[in-house]
């Protein structure tokens, strides 16, 4: 055992000294910080203002579109004010609440803001006044920290410009579009505030727009492939402006339909905002706390993240074990080692050493993940705060460590066997194709299993030892039956022991063998040998 520990220490220290190890340690926290910070930065800072033109030949829809875009601008301003207040309010003014009691509906702030804007139109209108924002900030000031930074209003996402010189609506729709093509394609630029800017989009409303309306009770008009209101833009990925314009136009069309049929449009909107809440309840929770919280929803899906992390960890360290074994065999270092230790001690040392590397990386990743969530947690990042609470209080971490160790030992035995019978990485790749096909199953099923954790697929995969660690981890938040928990664990332990025993047989013979990798029948003879 002493020799095995010495080999394990050698494997561990040799790998810890490599640059790849430290890059692997640091890459996850760096990626987490980038994934959490960069999209927010790009959304607020890097996205340029989009310049657009409107040519309304009907003379009816232009003000409707402008009102909708202004309303969207006010909502963004309101969101920015809410985020500013949440990030800078003094601790004594911050409501203390158990994050596990936050309703699941709070997970969709956009929907809540939409409802708020509908119910409080006077506030949204008030934000349009020039001094409204300053007045709100003055009222907020007594509640803010002394070192609170100045409020920075969000950048305008869309800004209308006039038609370029020489482009006139009086020349007709077709000629207008031909004149705008060079601007939309990037050949020419439009002017705004004395500067030149690329034209992002053009909205063309035909003269006969009323005849283009589609009504369920009537035959659809033959519009052709480019009929209807015409939205011109080369950017097919950013559809926000198009969606806002479409929403404004269709709401106006419906309002006119209400009036034409003698229906009060405001009454219809009021009725449409009337709703009966549906509360999700969990019968497994304590009496009086049955309401499903946002944390409950997060916990249901957290095992998916653990499954992905486990897959990456097991594959990385097992691949490391494979590479080290082949490298030492091809360089004949393995012969020197076997002159001092037995093949069993060498194999056990390699398994323990690489397991130590895997656990070090894994615990470092988890610690970095918790640290990043702690840094990001707070009122301005409620989801991060509640995810941190779930990770630290749910008991999923011990389950994850258990299944990681068992999964590592199982796959490490397979990879170690492959490494011992191959002389080069190229030879090993022929075997790795089959192993990868086996290992890909947990990835392609990990999003489905939480939706049906006790279904046939989840249950069957749980009893296949190669998939047990991943699938049972994925089912952990759904309280799988005790029979599945105990039975699959016992089967996993037996299977791992059997794989390690067979791996030891193959390793003992294959590690000193040269030439072509053995055939299947030869491997069977190795397993039957004493």
Instruction: Out of 40-44, 280-284, 341-345, pick the least confident.
Output: 40-44
Would you say 370 and 392 are in contact if contact means Cβ atoms under 8 Å apart?
Answer: yes
Q: Quick: pLDDT tens for 100-109.
A: 444 444 444 4
How high is the pLDDT of residue 494? 94
Q: Is the pLDDT of residue 524 over 90?
A: no
Q: How many CB atoms lie within 10 A of CB 316?
A: 16
Query: Which phi and psi (to 5°) does residue 56 adopt?
Result: -105, 95
Of 9-23, 204-218, 257-271, 485-499, give the range with the top mean pLDDT: 485-499
pLDDT at 102: 44
pLDDT at position 100 is 43
Place of tokens 């729709």: 173
Tokens encoding 478: 């759904």
Per-residue pLDDT at 412: 87
Residue 399 in tokens: 């389950």
β-strand 50-56 against 230-232: which pairing, if any? Answer: unpaired
Give the DSSP H/E element, type plus range, for residue 204: strand 201-205
Query: Per mean pLDDT, which range of 201-210, 311-320, 328-337 is the poorest?
Result: 328-337
d(CA 365, CA 358): 10
Tens digits of residue pLDDT in 291-300: 766 667 777 7
Q: What is the CA radius of gyration of the chain?
A: 32
Q: How far apart are CA 31 and CA 446, in angstroms?
A: 22
Residues written for the chain: 530
Instruction: Sketch the domain layout of the chain as residue ranges.
Output: 2-33+286-528, 48-272
pLDDT in tens, 74-95: 888 877 877 777 777 776 655 4
Most confident listed range (53-62, 121-130, 164-173, 424-433): 53-62
388-397 pLDDT tens trace:
667 767 778 8
Beta bridge partners of residue 89, listed in sequence order = 144
* Residue range 321-338, pLDDT digits in tens: 888 888 877 777 777 777
Would the pLDDT of 357 be above 90? no
Q: DSSP state, 103?
A: B
Mean pLDDT of 156-177: 87
* pLDDT the model gives residue 289: 72
Q: Under a CB-based contact definition with an 8 Å cutoff, are residues 199 and 54 in contact?
A: no
The pTM of the full predicted model, rounded to 2 decimals, is: 0.64
In terms of DSSP bridges, do strands 189-192 and 195-198 run parallel, antiparallel, or are they unpaired?
A: antiparallel
Tokens of 238: 């950013």
The pLDDT of residue 425 is above 80? no
* Residue given tokens 């996402």 in the structure block: 157
How does the average pLDDT of the chain come out, rounded?
A: 79
Taking the C-alpha atoms of residue 73 and residue 71, their distance in angstroms, rounded to an integer, is 5
Q: Which of 130-144, 353-367, 440-454, 501-515 has the highest mean pLDDT?
A: 440-454
Where is average pLDDT lowest: 36-40, 165-169, 335-339, 442-446?
36-40
**Alpha carbon distance 38, 42 (integer Å):** 6
pLDDT value at 488 more than 90: yes
Rounded Cα distance between 182 and 192, Å, is 17
What lies within 8 Å, CB to CB, of 205 at 6+ separation is 54, 55, 56, 57, 58, 60, 61, 62, 229, 230
Instruction: State mean pLDDT over 477-484.
Output: 87
- In eight-state DSSP terms, residue 303 is H
Mean pLDDT of 459-475: 92
Residue 358: which region, alpha, beta or left (left: phi > 0; alpha: psi -120 to 50)?
alpha
Q: Mean pLDDT over residues 236-255, rounded?
A: 89
pLDDT of residue 339: 75
In this structure, of 186-200, 419-433, 447-461, the range with the lowest mean pLDDT score is 419-433
- DSSP structure string for 362-382: HHHHHHHHHHHHHHH-BTTBH
- What is the per-residue pLDDT for 60? 85
What's 227's DSSP letter? Answer: -
pLDDT higher than threshold 80 for residue 455: yes
Q: Which pLDDT score is estimated for 105?
A: 43
């Amino acid at each position: 055992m002493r020799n095995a520990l010495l080999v394990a220490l050698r494997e561990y220290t040799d790998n810890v000294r490599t640059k790849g190890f430290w890059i692997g340690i640091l890459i996850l926290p760096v990626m987490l910080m980038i994934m959490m910070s960069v999209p927010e930065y790009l959304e607020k800072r890097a996205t340029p203002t989009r310049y657009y033109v409107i040519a309304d030949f009907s003379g009816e829809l232009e003000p409707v579109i402008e009102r909708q875009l202004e309303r969207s601008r006010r909502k963004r301003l309101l969101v920015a004010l809410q985020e500013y207040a949440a990030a800078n309010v003094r601790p004594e003014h911050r409501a203390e609440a158990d994050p596990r009691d936050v309703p699941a509906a709070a997970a969709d702030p956009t929907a809540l803001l939409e409802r708020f804007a509908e119910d409080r139109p006077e506030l949204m209108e008030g934000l349009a006044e020039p001094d409204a924002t300053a007045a709100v900030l003055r009222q907020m000031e007594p509640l803010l920290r002394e070192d609170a930074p100045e409020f920075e209003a969000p950048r305008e996402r869309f800004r209308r410009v006039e038609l370029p010189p020489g482009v006139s609506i009086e020349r007709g729709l077709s000629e207008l579009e031909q004149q705008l093509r060079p601007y939309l394609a990037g050949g020419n630029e439009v002017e705004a505030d004395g500067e030149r800017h690329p034209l992002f989009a053009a909205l063309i409303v035909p003269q006969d727009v009323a005849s283009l309306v589609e009504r369920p009770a009537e035959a659809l008009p033959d519009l052709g492939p480019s009929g209807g209101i015409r939205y011109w833009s080369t950017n097919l990925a950013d559809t926000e402006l198009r969606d806002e314009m479409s929403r404004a136009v269709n709401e106006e069309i419906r309002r006119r339909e209400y009036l034409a049929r003698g229906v009060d449009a405001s009454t219809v909107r009021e009725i449409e905002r009337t709703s009966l809440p549906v509360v999700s309840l969990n019968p497994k929770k304590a009496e009086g706390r049955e309401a499903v919280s946002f944390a409950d929803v997060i916990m249901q899906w957290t095992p998916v993240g653990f499954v992905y992390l486990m897959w990456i960890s097991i594959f990385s360290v097992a691949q490391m074990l494979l590479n080290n074994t082949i490298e030492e065999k091809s360089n004949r270092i393995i012969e020197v080692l076997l002159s001092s230790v037995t093949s069993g001690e060498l194999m056990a040392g390699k398994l323990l050493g690489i397991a130590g590397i895997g656990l070090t990386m894994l615990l470092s990743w988890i610690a970095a993940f918790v640290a990043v969530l702690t840094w990001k947690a707070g009122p301005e990042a409620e989801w991060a705060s509640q995810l941190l609470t779930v990770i630290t209080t749910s008991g999923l971490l011990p389950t994850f460590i258990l299944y990681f160790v068992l999964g590592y030992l199982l796959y490490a035995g397979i990879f170690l066997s492959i490494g011992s019978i191959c002389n080069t990485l190229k030879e090993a790749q022929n075997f790795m194709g089959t192993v990868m096909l086996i290992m890909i199953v947990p990835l392609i099923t990990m999003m489905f299993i939480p939706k049906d954790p006790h279904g046939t697929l989840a249950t069957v995969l749980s009893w296949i030892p190669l998939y047990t660690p991943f699938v049972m981890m994925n089912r952990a938040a759904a309280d799988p039956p005790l029979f599945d928990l105990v039975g699959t664990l016992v089967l996993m332990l037996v299977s791992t022991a059997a794989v390690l025993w067979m791996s030891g047989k193959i390793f003992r013979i294959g590690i000193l063998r040269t030439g072509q990798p053995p055939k299947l029948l030869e491997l069977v003879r190795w397993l039957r040998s004493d």
